[in-house]
Structure 1
Amino acid sequence: MAKIIPFQGIRYIKRSKNLKNLICPPYDVISGEQRKKLVSLSPENFVNIELPESNKKAKKYLDGWLKKSILTKEKTPSIYLYQQEFDLSGKKFKRTGFFAGLELDERFIHRHEKTIQKHIDHRFELTKEVKVNTSPIFCIFPDKTKSITKLVLNISKKKKPLVFTQEDKEKITHRFWVINDKKLISGLTSKLEKVSLVIADGHHRCRTGLLYKELVEKTYGKKNNSAPYNYILAFLCAIEDPGLVLLPTHRVIRAYPDINEKIKKHFTLSPWDGKSKPQVACYCNGEFKVLTLKKTFAKNKNKLELSISAIVLQEFVLNETDPGNIFYTKDINEAVKKAQEIQGYAFLLEPPAISDVFALSEKGKIMPQKTTYFYPKVPAGLVVYDLEA
């Protein structure tokens, strides 16, 4: 069902020894301060294209770096294996997947989160200017027999990877393999044809890809299905991968008059000791409370949906709150501090089970913004997909 292709990636091939100073996070998690720091690491840092000062400047950087061979296009169509090794809460994880061109077919790529039009518009304007996918969408797929996972790991053992560790607070070690063996690629693509995908991260990028495809076909007419704009840069990872980590995203809002009423109406409140892991906890005015949905409101509701804290909170408390007025963070301490600053509420959530997110997404359920936070983010700048190849 899912169709992937190898592609001639645009990479820092001649700058590979300095990659730790050249890649950057995806645009939507880069703060103004972080952007300055990334540029200070190297004037050739990919943030100049991923989150540019202007779209024209992004185009200027891309064209100039290609001309100077700072960025170089792969000679042979390839698939790129990628592993991130990281520490979290004292435990070590390795998440392994691969980059490929993914056919833009909404029948087999399921989304699970709402998108915001202004963010789509922003990326669409950049894409029209640079005509490349600067960063990937991140998709997950089921691999119960682990046949795809085993194939990926076997491929990685046959070739030495490019390895580097970033010198920031996360200290992530990256491993990157270029795979251009046609037989190995064929084996991987044929296995992926049997699965459907769910977008873990990159809903706005995926929508942008679809809009760009529509624009090209409207302007120049529909070409054959192998045209590069029919595909999008994707990082794919199995649900069963032991390094696939899903973190909660907490919510902070001001103390609007109706919020307290909604909480008391729909939930039973009890003190929180800070040790247990309730589905939803709330901080307000110096007190932590566990919010337990009352049985009368849980009755006749989809049990799978009720298992996801962001859906429960959205339906019974935040249903009339503008998402733009919600502060999101994965850090509990930051959430509590923000609530104290604005004298509001911090809603502390448990992350959903990955299998539940996948199951609901396949059924077409669209969940609230920031329902999931797959950690760590897949960086931009490792490989770029050319929409005009």
Structure 2
Amino acid sequence: MPEITAFRAWRYNPEQFGPDLSEMVALPYDVLTAEDKQRLLSRSERNIVAVDLPFVPPKSAGPDHVYAEAAERLNVWREDGTLMVEDEPAIYVYHQIYEHGGKQYTRKKFFARLRLEPFGQGGVFPHEHTFGGPKEDRLKLMQATSFQLSAVFGLYSDPHGAVARLLEPGSRKPDATAELDTVTNRMWAVTDPAIIKAVQQEMSTKPVYIADGHHRYGTALNYRDKRCAAGELPMDHPARFVLVGLCAMEDPGALILPTHRIISGFGDLNVESVLGKLRDGLKLEPAAGTPADFDTILPQTSPYDLAVWVDATKQMFLARFSERGILDQLAPEQSPAWRNLDLAYIHTYLLDELLTRDLLGGSPPTVHYARSGADADNLVRHDKGIALICKACTMEDLRGVSQAGDLMPQKSTFFYPKLATGLVLNPLD
């Protein structure tokens, strides 16, 4: 089962910056653009993005010299007092306060080191595929800096809130705060050995499910293996661990938001032909609504599985899946948990079987992804296509598929908000 440890993080020096690190932190590297990087650096040339994103576009490996320059910059910050190292090993309580759908939420997590184990072993489970480019980029950065800068976001089950109670900061002032993209970030260092030990004991029986940061976890495994191949690596060496931000699945602030599908590229076929083919797998009911309703038309409690907007005819439908059992035939190698996913039905049956194979002669439609109703509206108007407004997957979906050893369809989960990078840096030597 998972093993977590406290560690002595490097972090921005409060004697130089005070507790407010709003100008120092950034979103994870993989959601930033070149323009985002310049905007952050215009606020402070010592923003963490200067070392965490040495090459743009993100997810692409750059030339060796950009990673060497990032390492040199990090070393300068360590030497000139920009960064300080914690006096004692700590677990770092991390709260994010944000609004969604007119409600305020607080998502409670903590930063720690997690012992690296291959996916599916040692109680650590992935839920999505990873690709080569981002891992190569992250590996080059880790090798150059001997640091892990961005945390992996992990989930664990704690229905009674035992870990959160142990780490409740009460009225204590945060050691660090930051306002980032309308999200308030607060962090407290916990150095009490008794509390740390109690948290370790609680976590020792809880599987960890990777929510966000599969590339970072895979890169940390590669880094560890390369260090082992270069010589003996003690079992307690920092390279055998990865920086994680861990959150209880049951935390009221832990939301998974939906990602909608916009389909287009139907060749000479009109959308009515496409809609007709989709009726083979959907029971469609006309509904009142426009793209302005995308964010509200399909709540999680709705008896419907999908909302469908046809831009050409300005029609809204609510839909139920009419052939749920078809995935038993189309994907018998997948687990029951996977075959029960809404997105498995959408991709495997509606898109791959009905549209690509039956209607389009093997040429798949173009699929774009939208994480908000406004984005879906813009895309469907631009593409002159059909919007499939989806429900979010649930924590139970993620846990069931992960434990079965399956991986979810692409862009199944959208965890909001993203963890801030720059609150704690994990040294690997």
TM-score (normalised: structure 1): 0.90
- SS of the residue aligned with 1:92? strand
State the distance in 1 between where 2:262 and 2:136 align: 26
Q: What pairs up with 1:297-376 in 2 under 5 angstroms?
A: 297-298=325-326, 300=328, 304-319=337-352, 326-376=367-417
Q: Does 1:157 align with 2:198?
A: no
C-alpha displacement at 1:270, in angstroms?
Answer: 3.0
State the distance in 1 between where 2:67 and 2:255 align: 33
- SS of the residue aligned with 2:155? strand
Q: What's 2:2 paired with? A: 2
C-alpha displacement at 1:309, in angstroms?
Answer: 2.7
Report if the CA contact (8 A) 1:251-1:348 is conserved: yes
Query: Per-residue CA shift, 1:251-304, capped at 9, x if unaligned?
Result: 234324599386344333333434344432233323333343223644748664
Amino acid at match of 1:92: Q
Q: Does 1:41 align with 2:40?
A: no
Of 321-330 and 85-94, deviating more is 321-330
C-alpha displacement at 1:125, in angstroms?
Answer: 2.0
Q: 1:158 to 1:184 in 2, by over 3 A?
A: farther
Q: What's 1:295 paired with? A: 323
Equivalent of residue 232 in structure 1, options 222, 227, 242: 242
- SS of the residue aligned with 1:17? coil
State the distance in 2 between where 1:192 and 1:323 align: 44
Equivalent of residue 280 in structure 1, options 306, 312, 318: 306
Q: Does 1:209 align with 2:217?
A: no
Q: What's 1:11 paired with? A: 11
C-alpha displacement at 1:81, in angstroms?
Answer: 0.5
| Structure index of larger Rg | 2
C-alpha displacement at 1:324, in angstroms?
Answer: 12
Amino acid at match of 1:86: Y
Q: 1:10 to 1:262 in 2, by over 3 A?
A: farther
Q: 1:333 to 1:306 in 2, by over 3 A?
A: farther
Query: Per-residue CA shift, 1:13-57, capped at 9, x if unaligned?
Result: 232434011100001111232222111111111111222233233
Amino acid at match of 1:184: I
Q: Does 1:244 align with 2:254?
A: yes
Report if the CA contact (8 A) 1:198-1:361 is conserved: yes
Amino acid at match of 2:345: V
Q: Does 1:116 align with 2:127?
A: no
Q: What pairs up with 1:46-125 in 2 under 5 angstroms?
A: 46-53=48-55, 54-106=66-118, 107=121, 108-125=123-140
- SS of the residue aligned with 1:164? strand
Q: 1:216 to 1:196 in 2, by over 3 A?
A: same
State the distance in 2 between where 1:346 and 1:61 align: 46
Amino acid at match of 1:381: G
Q: What's 2:231 paired with? A: 220
- SS of the residue aligned with 1:7? coil
Query: Per-residue CA shift, 1:85-136, capped at 9, x if unaligned?
Result: 1111111111111000000123111001111222222222222222211110
C-alpha displacement at 1:367, in angstroms?
Answer: 0.4
- SS of the residue aligned with 1:241? coil
- SS of the residue aligned with 1:20? coil
Report if the CA contact (8 A) 1:254-1:344 is conserved: yes
Report if the CA contact (8 A) 2:281-2:321 is conserved: yes
Report the RMSD for the aligned CA atoms in angstroms.
2.6
State the distance in 1 between where 2:35 and 2:365 align: 21
Q: Does 1:127 align with 2:142?
A: yes
Of 137-146 and 315-324, deviating more is 315-324
Size of the alignment, in residue pairs?
Answer: 383
Q: 1:55 to 1:280 in 2, by over 3 A?
A: farther
Q: 1:123 to 1:310 in 2, by over 3 A?
A: farther
State the distance in 1 between where 2:11 and 2:365 align: 35
Q: Which runs of 5+ in 2 are unaligned?
A: 56-65, 290-296, 330-334, 357-361
Amino acid at match of 1:145: H
- SS of the residue aligned with 1:214? helix
Equivalent of residue 379 in structure 1, options 420, 425, 428: 420
Of 302-311 and 278-287, deviating more is 302-311
Q: What's 2:204 paired with? A: 193
Query: Per-residue CA shift, 1:322-367, capped at 9, x if unaligned?
Result: 9996433311121121122122333221101112211221121210
Of 199-208 and 298-307, deviating more is 298-307
State the distance in 1 between where 2:38 and 2:370 align: 21
Q: Does 1:140 align with 2:155?
A: yes
Equivalent of residue 30 in structure 1, options 29, 32, 48: 32
Report if the CA contact (8 A) 1:239-1:355 is conserved: no
